[in-house]
Amino acid sequence: MPEISEVKITSEFVTRKNRNRKIVDVEYLSSNKLKEIENINVIGKTLSATSRGKEMKLLFDNEPVVITLGMSGGFKNFETPSDNSNKYWKHSHIRFKMDDGNYFNWCDIRRF
């Protein structure tokens, strides 16, 4: 379980990386454990985050979703779609395609 400081650093990373980007497409893998995000229309929205102790609040244009990072979860930014040799791309549960062509993924290798 990540500590409070790790959740804060991750939330700052999410906000910083997506400050001037909008989501243009999203792909949910069947292993996705963050089902509450699937109920939101995220296309065309910006993504930011704030930390709430050991939880993180994701904001899709101020529409909040509270998540936990699990044992090994986090967000990764990919400049181009990756082949299957990248372990983070392979273990991505949600793949957000951003308007600059990059992918911002929710990854959890251990799937907790």
Q: What is the CATH number of the domain that holds 104?
A: 3.20.190.10
Q: Tell me the C-alpha distance between 19 and 43, whole Å.
A: 15
Q: Tell me the C-alpha distance between 29 and 54, whole Å.
A: 25
Q: How many domains does the chain have?
A: 1
Q: Are the C-beta atoms of residues 102 and 95 closer than 8 Å to each other?
A: no
Q: Are the C-beta atoms of residues 110 and 70 closer than 8 Å to each other?
A: yes
- Domain containing 75 equals 4-108
Residue type, 98: M
Question: What pLDDT is stored for residue 23 in this prediction?
Answer: 94
Q: Where are the beta strands (DSSP E) in the chain?
A: 23-28, 47-52, 55-60, 63-68, 73-78, 92-98, 103-108
Query: pLDDT means per 10 residues in the chain (112 residues)?
Result: 86 94 90 79 94 91 86 80 64 87 84 58
Q: What is the pTM of this model?
A: 0.85
Question: What pLDDT is stored for residue 77 in this prediction?
Answer: 86
